[in-house]
């Protein structure tokens, strides 16, 4: 049901712990995804890993309504090295004229006293990006919520075209979820962000992202099978 919009979606509270972030149906879909991966001896993850690695190469940018920087948990109240890399790359795209606005997504997570989006905005403004070119999504606790809330705000303006910015191994998940929400997305991964390409950390993160993609697709398939419109409305 691509186009369905849940007017009152579940949103995890600020600083939510893992199970609170899952929301309705999250634990059951996670359990099912884990069981399928184990019973399949990891084989269900292989096509998802291929998608993660392919998306890490990125796409050529195209004119869009906005550039979206996906949030990242802060260190204290400051952006991490990975988040800064995302913000810097988004600033380059904005200066190149690919979109008129920058969106920064992310609520209050971990031990921070301010949102990821607010920290990102302050960093961008310090780099010379005009404050009136930046918009914030400050209610989300994870990537799915980032995209759900931004999608709602874009639709209010009749917009749907995004350049999605994140680190290379994260863009596959972000783009898949964004397209599931009916958005037109071009991915633009950060060229310089840890972990180092080909390192143990790189492959560990790639496998983790492959599982997250597997979980996302498993959850959609399961909820379509059981006809749960309410749960599908959170992800489509």
| Structure-token match 């001896």, residue found | 41
User: Is there a single domain that holds both residue 114 and residue 212?
Assistant: no
In a domain, 8, yes or no: no
For range 51-57, the mean pLDDT? 96
Please check whether residue 109 lies inside any domain of the structure: yes
147 and 176 belong to one structural domain: yes
CB 169 within 8 A of CB 209: yes
Same domain for 68 and 180, yes or no, is yes
Residues 66 and 183 reside in one and the same domain? yes
Has residue 161 been placed in a domain? Answer: yes
Same domain, 66 and 178: yes
Q: Confirm whether 90 is domain-assigned.
A: yes
Q: Are residues 102 and 72 in the same domain?
A: yes
In a domain, 73, yes or no: yes
Whether residues 100 and 161 fall in one domain: yes
- 100 and 75 within one domain: yes
User: Model confidence at 8, in pLDDT bands (50, 70, 90)?
Assistant: low
Q: Which residues of 85-110 are buried (b: 16+ CB within 10 A; e: fewer)?
A: bbbbbbbebbeeebbebbbbbbbbbe
Residue 66: C-alpha distances to residues 11, 97, 151 (Å): 23, 10, 11
Whether residues 226 and 180 share a domain: the answer is no
Q: pLDDT of 96-155, one tens digit each?
A: 999 999 999 999 998 999 999 999 999 999 999 999 999 999 999 999 999 999 999 999
Cis peptide, bond prior to residue 195, ω within 30 of zero: yes
Note whether 211 and 183 are same-domain residues.
no
9 assigned to some structural domain: no
Based on DSSP, count helices (H) and strands (E) in the chain, helices before strands.
Answer: 9, 5
Same domain assignment for residues 67 and 179: yes
From its phi and psi, is residue 126 left (phi > 0), alpha (psi between -120 and 50) or beta?
Answer: alpha
Does the global pTM surpass 0.75?
A: yes
Average pLDDT, the chain: 91
Domain that holds residue 207: 198-236
How many domains would you assign to the chain?
Answer: 2
Whether 7 maps to a domain, the answer reads no
Together in a domain, 219 and 167: no
Q: Provide the pLDDT confidence category of residue 52 given band limits of 50, 70 and 90.
A: very high
Instruction: Give the CATH number, domain containing residue 85.
Output: 3.40.50.620
């Amino acid at each position: 049901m691509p186009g369905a919009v849940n007017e009152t979606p579940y949103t995890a509270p600020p600083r939510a712990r893992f199970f609170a972030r899952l929301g309705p149906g999250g634990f059951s879909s996670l359990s099912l995804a884990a069981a399928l991966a184990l019973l399949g001896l990891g084989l269900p993850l292989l096509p998802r890993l291929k998608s993660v690695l392919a998306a890490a190469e990125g796409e050529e940018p195209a004119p869009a309504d906005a550039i979206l920087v996906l949030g990242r948990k802060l260190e204290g109240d400051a952006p991490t090295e990975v988040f800064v890399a995302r913000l810097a790359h988004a600033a380059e795209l904005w200066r190149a004229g690919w979109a008129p606005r920058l969106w920064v997504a992310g609520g209050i997570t971990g031990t921070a006293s301010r949102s990821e989006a607010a920290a990102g905005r302050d960093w961008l403004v310090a780099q010379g990006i005009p404050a009136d070119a930046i918009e914030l999504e400050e209610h989300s606790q994870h990537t799915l919520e980032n995209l759900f809330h931004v999608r709602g705000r874009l639709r209010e303006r009749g917009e749907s075209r995004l350049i999605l910015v994140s680190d290379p191994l994260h863009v596959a998940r972000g783009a898949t979820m964004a397209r599931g929400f009916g958005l037109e997305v071009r991915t633009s991964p950060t060229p310089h962000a840890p972990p180092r390409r080909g390192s143990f950390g790189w492959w560990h993160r790639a496998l983790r992202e492959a599982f997250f993609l597997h979980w996302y697709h498993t959850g959609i398939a399961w909820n379509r099978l059981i006809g749960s419109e309410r749960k599908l409305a959170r992800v489509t």
